[in-house]
Structure 1
């Protein structure tokens, strides 16, 4: 069993995205980093509160136990249940806050935010210009929780998947995708199951 010194990455819900006739069905991956510190990455939509609460209880945690809420970017399917965690520090894209206090941190110039010696938030703009990814050092290797920098594993071989999901800068997104692929052993993408990086 992994102890407090080595965080455990638990994907609570796999994200998905599919186009129907007149609409799109989508929700993001939601990931628990079980520490301490305890971290939730991407809180899905505002309609997911009960299933998120239940998932935490199943992992012997409550909303009050969460120390950090990290949203890889500010789209509605990634921030919907942030309100469940009033005691946590919230990092939404490049913004860091707790209650009405906003902390200065220069993600824009590439500065990383260290959560612990095993958990770091790094700027990875592209999908939006304020995207971040969470890098976690675990017993099984480095896990990158990337939000929509990667939509799903299939977009490794088909660029049209991530490009069609929207990209504020395809050039930056390609650069940061490459960066993550070089550093990670596993990736939790924004709208698909976690996958192993084929080195």
Structure 2
């Protein structure tokens, strides 16, 4: 299983925290019918994206991108010591899987220059912070943490009405530590890193494209959770705030990168998680490389 990819002058590392069963396909994808699931069951199982009980298999991971100038971590996964009672596999975790993965890729927490979050859901912000003597502090002490302004404002407003634990323990402590950059979509890091607005899953969800003057790699976050959504871009997950917008954004994204050499680095597709978008009938595939 490949955890390292090279494209252009970028080196990309996958840091896997969990690769496991998540939810039944028919539950996560409300628009999916048993008939369409049956038609796609064989290839989905072969790809490791579906188990024998029709439960989707998802990978939960970060990417570390080494550019000529910076070391950038994308989406900080689940985290340890976080109270997540709705998700037993994530609740009050204490394992060293993530930190061992980071070390195996050759990085320490001090090496990260930027942490960039595609959005602020629980499994994309967890390692933003760690517990230190009873308080949450930034895990990556030298990093600037990049949050989209639309996304940050949405969760600030939501959290003010009803506390959102991941926002409280994994985002606000970064702001309090003055390590946050609240940015708009014209934000860039050097000549290599750009923001691509991809709303729908959340109001301020973004993808990140990397490469000098062209998109050598793009990180799609929760624009899609399963390879089934490349075949059928209209299938949105039940967690999408605006399912119609998410479907439109997803098809537009897949059209944009279809039949190009851009590496599409997905957040949750099963290993190898990285591929190139190719057309397949009225939909697409993400062909593993």
Tell me how far apart the structure 2 counterparts of residues 190 and 69 of structure 1 sit (CA, whole Å).
15
1:10 aligns with 2:13: yes
1:30 Cα deviation (Å)?
1.3
User: Counterparts in 2 of 1:123-134, with a 5 A limit?
Assistant: 123-134=197-208
1:100 aligns with 2:171: no
Q: TM-score scaled to structure 1, two decimals?
A: 0.78
Give the equivalent residue in structure 1 for 2:112. Answer: 66
1:149 Cα deviation (Å)?
0.5
User: Counterparts in 2 of 1:177-188, with a 5 A limit?
Assistant: 177-181=250-254, 182-183=256-257, 185-188=262-265
1:173 aligns with 2:246: yes
Contact (CA 8 Å) 2:234, 2:251: kept in 1 or not?
no
- Which segments of 5 or more consecutive residues in structure 1 lack a partner in the other structure? none
Larger Rg: 2
Tell me how far apart the structure 1 counterparts of residues 115 and 57 of structure 2 sit (CA, whole Å).
24
- Say which is worse superposed, 163-172 or 143-152, in terms of deviation: 163-172
Contact (CA 8 Å) 1:27, 1:45: kept in 2 or not?
no
Give the equivalent residue in structure 1 for 2:211. Answer: 137
Aligned length: 191
Compared CA separation, residues 187 and 17, structure 1 to 2 (3 A):
farther
Give the equivalent residue in structure 2 for 1:43. Answer: 76
Tell me how far apart the structure 1 counterparts of residues 252 and 275 of structure 2 sit (CA, whole Å).
16
1:40 Cα deviation (Å)?
0.8
Contact (CA 8 Å) 2:74, 2:117: kept in 1 or not?
yes
Compared CA separation, residues 17 and 196, structure 1 to 2 (3 A):
farther
1:74 Cα deviation (Å)?
0.9
Ranked by relative contact order (alpha carbons within 8 Å, sequence separation 6 or more), the top structure is: 1
- Which segments of 5 or more consecutive residues in structure 2 lack a partner in the other structure? 25-52, 81-92, 130-138, 153-170, 280-289
Instruction: Pick one of 168, 181, 191 that aligns with 2:268.
Output: 191
1:144-190 per-position Cα deviation (integer Å, ceiling 9, x unaligned): 111111113221113475x2342122333233323432146222222
Give the equivalent residue in structure 2 for 1:82. Answer: 128
Report the structure, 1 or 2, having the larger helix content. Answer: 2
Tell me how far apart the structure 1 counterparts of residues 21 and 189 of structure 2 sit (CA, whole Å).
30
- Say which is worse superposed, 125-134 or 41-50, in terms of deviation: 41-50
RMSD: 3.4
1:22-65 per-position Cα deviation (integer Å, ceiling 9, x unaligned): x9986533111012310111111123773232222222221111
Tell me how far apart the structure 2 counterparts of residues 2 and 24 of structure 1 sit (CA, whole Å).
29
> Secondary structure of 1:197's match?
strand
